[in-house]
Chain A
């Protein structure tokens, strides 16, 4: 029927649908924004644990958007999400453990001959 053809937005064979890219540019905006904020902190704040924590938190935010949206992990099944996240969180544990170990080693080496 004629009315049917106008209400249904079906595509003719070989026709290419319109791009849907607004979300991509939104995520890009967020990533650029976070990086810009990091730069502001580099020059406005004195180096220290507080500044480093801010950088690490902002980096994790960026990682969330890249992995979740660009790599589409947010929209995968729960099983896949956990398969990726659990080993990574164990690695973060390793990182924290060895950074602590490094500080201890530095202290020991410094005081060795005192």
Chain B
């Protein structure tokens, strides 16, 4: 039988094929999650790499330094050993020189966990297409988020200005507070890591607050209602919970351990 010299298009089937629904035929949602949510998960995973790099660096540098072995009450700040966190973070706004070890950071942790709760409440309201409730819970989340940022600003200010007694440095002068080159609390890297880790986290909270404000405006304008779903709130919610999660780890490794 003679072969055709040019490629012929295949004869059209008499009836249309049934839609193909296999794994690789397109039109599927991998992991049964929408595109946006899946990409948010992958972004958060990559963000977790960055924060893990910070915390790993912190762990390594901290273990490289000497540990203060005496009784906690005899502890003094020195660049020889790593400071005990509850001696560094013991101030509370409006209480002057009172010793409130970790009191303020506990309050900040509570505020952030609470903001996570109001975020889930906003997502839950979105599932029910309840615009008024979404607005209400978004506003609470924005409020707690900005309160957290304000608290962090206070915490930084206090850390930078330092305790009144200060620490006598190697050259005999008394130094108060901290900057990137020297600090009164301990090794130089202690303050550097504090600025970088809590600063990077604070930047994340700030971006989160901006996204939430945008979400609130879009909700108020009825953008999501017209779209038929509040998935954007869920995606921003994933980000917000991640930021809360990072704080849980920063809190443990920077303040508790």
**Chain A residues in contact with chain B, CB under 8 A?**
16-17, 19-21, 24-25, 27-28, 31-32, 35, 38-39, 42-43, 46-47, 52, 55-56, 58-59, 62-63, 66-67, 70-71, 76-77, 79-80, 83-84, 87-88, 91, 94-95, 98-103, 105-106, 109-110
Contacts and interface: CB of A to CB of B under 8 A. Distances in A.
A32 to B, nearest CB: 7
B113 to A, nearest CB: 5
Contacts, number: 136
Contacts of A94: 52, 56
Contact of B252 (A20, A59, A76, A80): A59
Interface of B: 30-33, 38, 41, 45, 48-49, 52, 55-57, 59-66, 72, 84, 86, 101-102, 106, 109-110, 113-114, 116-117, 119-121, 124-125, 128-130, 133, 237-238, 241-242, 244-245, 248-249, 252, 256-257
Nearest to A28: B117
Contact of A95 (B52, B61, B242): B52
Nearest to B57: A98
Contact of A17 (B41, B128, B237): B128
Contacts of B125: 19
Contact of B120 (A24, A52, A103, A110): A24
A103 B138 CA distance: 45
A16 B130 contact: yes
Given A42-B256, A109-B64, A21 B121 contact: yes
A19 to B, nearest CB: 6
A55 B252 contact: yes
A39 B102 contact: yes
B128 A84 contact: no
Contact of A24 (B32, B38, B117): B117
Contacts of B242: 71
A22 B31 CA distance: 28
A91 B128 contact: no
Contacts of A106: 63-66
